[in-house]
Amino acid sequence: MVNEASRMGTLYGLSLGPGDPGLITRRAWQLLERRDALWVYPTRSSKSPSYAYDIVGRAGLLPPAEHQALLFPMTHDAEKLVRSWERAADYVLPRLRAGQDVMFLVEGDASTYATFGHLVRSLRAREEGLAVEVVAGVNSFSAASAALARPLCEQDDTVAIVPAAYGVSAIDRLLDDFDSLVLLKVKPLIEDLLDWLEARELLAGASLIERCGAPDERILRGEEMLALRGSTVSYLSLMLVHSPHRIRGERIRGCLKKNTRQAQAAGAPA
């Protein structure tokens, strides 16, 4: 579809949810049924299948005539990452300039630790009038909480969402300020995290969810996770950790009450 105002196509960040096709939103499904747009989707290497593409395949949604995997390697090498984003932009921008809409398929939510943001920045550096629509989706930790049938947070609970790569010592410091921790990308640190959970007596309130929503989803609760020692978990794994030991400080209450100035402005007696 051609954007009549700019004669450029629109770039969509199409969130698909963490793995269960049933969690694709109606808006995303509607866009995926179009036949006139280009699908692009991230892959970690030329030999690795795209998890995002797998989700739409399991949904029974057929790709358009034109679709393309884009390589986003799993690395912390800044130069390699920038090169991959620029190559992706090299492929996508001519299509947008030709008036074609491009749909970037994203597992989870396009605004949460997704490669989509990197592509958008690379494209905007070249094309100031870039039209972008982000289609919100279910993120992995919301789906994981639902799979556990356990609230992620309630009332005044605080939550931290942290890539586990920051290390156990950094994660440990969060226990004083947060009731629940969402630990993403736990694969490289699984042994250290298990030791930490045991040492801090947090196992009872912790769970690991692997490939949430996929046919091979696996959920381990509490001491069940200790069976992971010496094994490898999927890259698509996270931990939810609830800390029952946190001592909360004083909380400010009555935030919804009108103060004197607000009451006077509304014509009410002070």
**Domain containing 50 — which CATH number?**
3.40.1010.10
**Same domain? 106 vs 28:** yes
Please give the radius of gyration of the chain, using alpha carbons only, rounded to the nearest integer: 22
**Six token digits for residue 239:** 């931990």
Q: What is the pLDDT along the chain (270 residues), one digit of tens a residue?
A: 444 445 899 999 999 999 999 999 999 999 999 999 999 999 887 778 899 999 999 999 999 988 999 988 776 778 888 888 899 899 999 999 999 999 999 999 999 999 899 999 999 999 988 999 999 999 999 999 999 999 999 888 999 999 988 899 999 999 999 999 999 999 999 999 999 999 999 999 999 999 999 999 999 999 999 999 999 999 999 999 998 887 776 666 655 555 545 545 555 454
CA distance to 36, 42, 159, 248, per residue, from 177 (Å): 49, 35, 9, 8
Does a structural domain hold residue 115? Answer: yes
Maximum C-alpha span of the chain: 71
* Nearest residue to 115 via CA among 91, 89, 145, 141: 89
> Residue 188 sits in which domain range?
141-242
Strand order in the sheet with 159-163: 159-163, 180-184, 237-242, 206-210, 218-221
CA atoms of 113 and 84, how far apart (whole Å) = 16
Residue 160 and residue 176 share a domain: yes
Distance CA 261, CA 267 (A): 10
Angle of the 78-97 helix axis to the 116-124 helix axis, nearest 10? 70
Q: How many structural domains compose the chain?
A: 2
146 and 111 share one domain: no
Q: Is 266 a domain residue?
A: no
Calculate the alpha carbon distances from 264 to 16, 102, 252, 268 in Å.
49, 53, 23, 5
Q: Is 124 in the same domain as 157?
A: no
Give me the amino acid identity at 231.
S
Check whether residue 63 and residue 46 sit in a common domain.
yes
Q: Are residues 50 and 147 in the same domain?
A: no
Pair (15, 133) in one structural domain: yes
Position 211 in a domain = yes
| In-domain check, residue 182 | yes
Let me know if residue 254 belongs to a domain: no
How would you class 78 by CB atoms within 10 Å of its CB: exposed for 0-12, middle for 13-18, buried for 19 or more? exposed
Are both 26 and 134 inside the same structural domain? yes
115 and 173 together in one domain: no
User: CA-to-CA distance for 101 and 104, rounded, in angstroms?
Assistant: 10
Kindly state whether residues 117 and 162 are assigned to the same domain: no
